[in-house]
């Protein structure tokens, strides 16, 4: 696969570039430097050996991880799978404190080998893809997926399009999970902890009900022509609630179908016709129906008429019962106003049709979004003013107490109040703290001391927010004003709504304040406000 050789020390090749790293290595080093270093050296030797056995080359060590390359995409993925499985087997004989959770990213690209190093844009892309990987998981690019999907017998999930730092375009990623996500058993009582990543499963003991929300959603989804709207900032529990509703619907005989608009290629949003063709195609594919789009789409009619007719002729008649379609990340459509206005109007029309037409009574919709609907929609053509509205708030004190109890932590009101004084009732932030404390990896004093720093358990979460702010100077300046003031601040409407949908602020009337003390402390430091507020 060698293309050209420019000098005796420089070679251009097509290579599968592999990055590994350790989750929370900065925090682990701050907690117990010697123990963490020993574990890194132990695991590095294992990874280097597996790489060599599969025809790979270790380029260099990156502190807690490695940079490697392979001349075969298949070998790179096979090697990564063996790495994660070997590390998982090793962990069964280790104490929780000695286990490192590795993440691996792989990308195929032309690179330059020069003086023992590897260079090229693909190296940077592989590094960013690795940051998308889940603990114990492998994240690969589209080009790797196309090369190995037919030969690698491991479940692969479409991770959708991702905006990667330093990459001027969106990149589609895929997740391989060759081992079950690591769980940790408590010392004596046998409680099994679940990592606070993504959706909380419907029957998880760590799912906290928020009465009467679940009951109202269950009652609504059982009705013909139902429409449920779920709104909340990121990591407030939208996906977990959605999973709960879909499970309930499935148990009551409905077919369920989930669409996340982040998984669509950017070209899908070129125009309304292409978008609606994609929408019909993806619905049909998930229902395992043969596509009839090329036969049924008649240019003499409008795109919305064709889409409606496709559902009436090919989708709904094939169901035989109720069909629940969940539409997640619909915020993405707000960027494409022409598409959004017509598509949302279509959803409203279908919802209204269910009142008079038996066929449309089969369709039930769940719409999930983070942002306020800031595009102007005709009041009679908007799905955002009908159906059941659900807005998820933070956990109450009682709900945090319940979650503490489920982690079997023997806390008094003092400890609960101290944690909530830092993170409020933010579901994700609360659960992360309880998870690490219940694993005996840390204690409340240490969590609170390091929380607003790069050595804390929230470092990845905070850095992601910081990076997003840095991409929008107006937002960064607005956040700086919030953390600089001891009073609620009146911001321009656009910045107010964006900080709220990111989950960084709380609204008090028309004014805003930082959502929690964690954000107040971290962004005061990182945005250069100073420490004496």
Same domain, 51 and 115: yes
In a domain? residue 532: no
Residue 420 in tokens? 């909530």
Residue 352: count of CB within 10 angstroms of its CB: 17
Q: For 248-253, which contacts have Cβ atoms below 8 Å and span 24 or more sequence positions? A: 248/202, 248/217, 248/218, 248/221, 249/221, 249/222, 249/322, 249/324, 249/364, 252/221, 252/222, 253/321, 253/322
In a domain? residue 331: yes
As a dihedral over the C-alpha atoms of residue 301, residue 303, residue 308, residue 313, rounded to 10 degrees, the angle is 60
Same domain, 136 and 226: no
Q: Give the domain range for residue 163.
A: 2-182
DSSP 129-144: HHTTPPTT-EEEEHHH
Instruction: Give the separation between CA 304 and CA 353, rounded to whole angstroms.
Output: 14
Same domain, 9 and 38: yes
Return the pLDDT at 109.
93
Same domain, 383 and 413: no
In a domain? residue 531: no
Same domain, 498 and 430: no
Same domain, 355 and 464: no
Return the pLDDT at 5.
44
CB 344 within 8 A of CB 383: yes
What is the pLDDT tens value at each position of the chain, 533 positions in all?
A: 334 445 557 889 999 999 999 988 888 888 788 889 999 999 999 999 999 999 999 999 988 999 999 999 999 999 999 999 899 888 877 877 788 999 999 999 999 999 889 999 899 999 999 988 888 889 999 999 988 887 787 778 888 888 888 888 888 899 887 765 544 444 444 578 888 888 888 888 899 999 999 999 999 999 999 999 999 998 999 999 999 999 999 989 999 999 989 888 889 999 999 999 999 999 999 998 999 999 999 988 999 999 999 999 999 999 889 999 999 989 899 989 999 999 999 999 999 999 999 999 999 999 999 877 766 778 888 999 999 999 999 999 999 999 999 998 989 899 999 999 999 999 999 999 999 999 877 899 999 999 999 999 999 899 999 999 999 999 999 999 999 999 999 999 889 988 998 999 999 999 999 999 999 999 999 999 864 44
Return the pLDDT at 385.
92
Same domain, 382 and 421: no
| Extended beta strands in 335-462, E state | 363-369, 388-391
Same domain, 384 and 402: no
Q: Give the pLDDT confidence of 184-238 residue by residue, as tens digits.
A: 444 444 578 888 888 888 888 899 999 999 999 999 999 999 999 999 998 999 9
DSSP 23-56: TTHHHHHHH-HHHHHHHHHHHHHHHHHHHHHTT-
In a domain? residue 357: yes
The residue out of 340, 370, 391 marking a domain boundary is 391
Residue 399 in tokens? 């709900």
Selection from 361, 340, 180 nearest residue 254 by Cα: 361
Residue 204 in tokens? 């998880």
Return the pLDDT at 193.
85
The residue out of 391, 410, 438 marking a domain boundary is 391
Q: Which residues contact 443 (CB under 8 A, 6 or more apart)?
A: 437
Element housing 424 (H / E): none
Selection from 449, 460, 442, 453 nearest residue 32 by Cα: 442
CB 390 within 8 A of CB 374: no
In a domain? residue 533: no
In a domain? residue 240: yes
Residue 41 in tokens? 């050296």
CATH of the domain at 259: 3.40.50.300
Q: Give the pLDDT confidence of 347-374 residue by residue, as tens digits.
A: 999 999 999 999 999 999 999 998 777 6
Selection from 292, 235, 228 nearest residue 256 by Cα: 228
Residue 511 in tokens? 């004014």
The residue out of 427, 450, 473 marking a domain boundary is 450
Instruction: Give the separation between CA 40 and CA 494, rounded to whole angstroms.
Output: 45
Same domain, 165 and 111: yes
Selection from 496, 516, 518 nearest residue 526 by Cα: 518
In a domain? residue 303: yes
Instruction: Give the separation between CA 528 and CA 481, rounded to whole angstroms.
Output: 11
- The number of folded domains in the chain is 4
In a domain? residue 225: yes
Residue 446: count of CB within 10 angstroms of its CB: 18
Same domain, 251 and 266: yes
CATH of the domain at 465: 1.10.10
Helix 33-53 vs helix 73-91: crossing angle, to nearest 10: 140
Enter the pTM of the model. Answer: 0.70
Residue 28: count of CB within 10 angstroms of its CB: 23
Place of tokens 């007719």: 309
Cα separation values, 104 from 23, 128, 462, Å: 11, 11, 21
Instruction: Give the separation between CA 168 and CA 523, rounded to whole angstroms.
Output: 26
Strand bridging mode 10-22 / 66-70: antiparallel
Same domain, 257 and 403: no
Instruction: Give the separation between CA 220 and CA 316, rounded to whole angstroms.
Output: 20
Instruction: Give the separation between CA 108 and CA 144, rounded to whole angstroms.
Output: 6
Same domain, 344 and 306: yes
Instruction: Give the separation between CA 397 and CA 399, rounded to whole angstroms.
Output: 5
CATH of the domain at 127: 3.30.70.1230
């Amino acid at each position: 696969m060698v293309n050209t050789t420019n000098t005796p020390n420089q070679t251009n090749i097509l290579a599968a570039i592999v990055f590994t790293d350790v989750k929370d290595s900065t925090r682990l080093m701050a907690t117990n430097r010697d123990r963490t270093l020993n574990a890194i050296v132990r695991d590095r030797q294992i990874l280097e050996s597996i790489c060599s056995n599969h025809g790979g080359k270790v380029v260099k060590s990156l502190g807690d991880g490695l940079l490697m390359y392979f001349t075969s995409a298949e070998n790179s993925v096979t090697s990564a799978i063996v790495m994660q499985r070997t590390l998982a087997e090793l962990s069964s004989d280790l104490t929780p404190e000695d286990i490192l959770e590795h993440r691996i990213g792989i990308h195929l690209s032309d690179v330059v080998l020069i003086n023992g190093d590897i260079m090229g844009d693909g190296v940077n892309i592989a590094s960013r893809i690795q940051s998308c990987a889940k603990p114990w998981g492998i994240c690969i690019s589209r080009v790797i997926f196309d090369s190995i999907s037919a030969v690698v017998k491991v479940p692969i999930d479409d991770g959708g399009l991702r905006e990667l730092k330093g990459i001027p375009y969106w990149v589609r990623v895929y997740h391989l999970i060759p081992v079950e996500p690591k769980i940790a058993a408590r010392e004596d009582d046998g409680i099994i902890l679940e990592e606070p990543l993504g959706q909380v499963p419907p029957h998880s003991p760590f799912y906290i009900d928020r009465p009467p929300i679940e009951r109202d959603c269950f009652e609504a989804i059982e009705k013909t022509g139902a429409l449920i709207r779920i709104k909340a900032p990121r990591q407030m529990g939208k996906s977990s609630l959605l999973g709960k509703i879909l499970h309930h619907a499935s148990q009551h005989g409905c077919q369920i179908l989930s669409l996340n608009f982040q998984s669509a290629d950017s070209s899908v949003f070129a125009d309304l016709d292409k978008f609606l063709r994609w929408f019909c195609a993806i619905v049909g594919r998930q229902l395992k129906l043969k596509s009839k789009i090329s036969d049924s789409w008649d240019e003499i009619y409008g795109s919305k008429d064709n889409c409606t007719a496709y559902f009436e002729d090919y989708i709904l008649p094939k169901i035989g019962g109720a069909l629940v379609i969940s539409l997640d990340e619909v915020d993405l459509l707000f960027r494409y106003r022409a598409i959004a206005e017509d598509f949302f109007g279509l959803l409203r029309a279908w919802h209204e049709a269910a009142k008079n037409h038996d066929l449309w009574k089969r369709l039930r919709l769940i719409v999930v979004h983070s942002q306020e609907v800031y595009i102007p929609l005709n009041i009679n053509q908007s799905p955002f003013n009908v159906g059941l509205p659900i807005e998820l708030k933070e956990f109450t004190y009682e709900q945090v107490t319940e979650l503490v109890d489920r982690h079997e932590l023997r806390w008094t009101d003092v400890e609960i109040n101290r944690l909530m004084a830092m993170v409020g009732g933010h579901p994700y932030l609360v659960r992360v703290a309880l998870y690490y404390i219940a694993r005996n990896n840390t204690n409340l004093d240490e969590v609170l001391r390091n929380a607003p720093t790069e050595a804390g358990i929230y470092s990845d979460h905070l850095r992601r927010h910081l990076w997003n702010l840095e991409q929008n100077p107006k937002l960064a300046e607005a956040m700086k004003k919030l953390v600089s003031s001891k009073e609620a601040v009146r911001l321009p409407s656009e910045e107010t709504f964006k900080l709220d949908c990111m989950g960084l602020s709380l609204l008090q009337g028309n004014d805003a304040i930082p959502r929690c003390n964690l954000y107040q402390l971290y962004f005061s430091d990182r945005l250069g406000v100073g420490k004496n507020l």
